[in-house]
Amino acid sequence: MTLVHLCKWALVGVCCLLLRAAAAAPPLSLAVLPFGNLSEYRGRLLDQRAAAAVAAAAPAPWQALAAPAVEQALEGLGAPWPLETADVQRLCAQVQAGAAVTGAIKTVQVEDQGAQVTIFVEVVEPLSGETIGRASGVGKFATHDALPVDERVDQALQRAAQAAWTALGPPPSLVGEVTGPAVGDRLPLKLRAPARLPDRAVLLLFAPDGAPVGPPLAAVVVQTVADETAQVGVLARRAETPAGAQAVLVGRLP
């Protein structure tokens, strides 16, 4: 292969990377709260270990916030556990999270050479307070090594967290942009082809491409789709949504 051909292939590769970067959703900060423990297993700090497993398994563009920041915000709330939706919203506003994850450890089964854990997760969109995703995940771990029980449970927790994220569906993706002003609580979108939206899809609207990336401007739900356009209803808004605002699919209403 000649140098000219190598340069051409290199240029194609760079262009592909640029296109992928341009189509990528902005980073979404995620507050993972300690999990409730509904199982009969009373492992040390199991609620925090489950949250850590879910945070570590979160797929991009989710970016889990550091546990100390979330814990400090929780202490500052002074609210009883489990948190009410309004408390989750207050916490997310304080740590500037685009979503919160709550959940519970449903079962823990410890065996001689392994463990099995089942967890339940719920994703909350804080602007509206709506739940936009629910899923369960089962994790199994087996080994011939003589590992401590907590380590076996942690391995199973990690697998359960990965399974739960998979069950929640594809990670957030950029699906379109706002094309005009709001009419009441409705906004028009131009969809990226081929953007496939689930029923009652929830989107977060961000500043137009090229503007500084900040928190979501609004949370909306898709009402109608026709060809490459959609009408969305505003669930909650932080600021006005200009033409060109990016629409990111993050989940769906139950």
Mean pLDDT of 187-199: 87
Token couple for 25: 């959703």
Strand partners, 63: 29
Please say if the pLDDT value at position 3 is more than 70. no
Sign of CA dihedral 92, 29, 202, 213: positive
The H or E element containing residue 43 is none
Please say if the pLDDT value at position 81 is more than 90. no
Residue 16: pLDDT band with limits 50, 70, 90: very low
Is the bond leading into 61 cis (omega within 30 degrees of zero)?
A: yes
Domains defined for the chain, CATH in brackets: 28-168 (3.40.50.10610), 173-252 (2.40.10.170)
> Closest Cα to residue 137, out of 158, 152, 109, 123?
158
Please say if the pLDDT value at position 75 is more than 90. yes
What's the confidence (pLDDT) of residue 23?
53
Mean pLDDT of 93-101: 96
What's the confidence (pLDDT) of residue 17?
34
d(CA 157, CA 46): 10
Strand partners, 221: 202, 233
Q: How far is CA 46 from CA 3, 30, 50, 171, in A?
A: 58, 20, 6, 26
What's the confidence (pLDDT) of residue 10?
37
Q: What is the mean pLDDT of the chain?
A: 89
Residue 21: pLDDT band with limits 50, 70, 90: very low
The H or E element containing residue 156 is helix 149-168
Residue 223: pLDDT band with limits 50, 70, 90: very high
Contact by Cβ (8 Å): 156, 139: yes
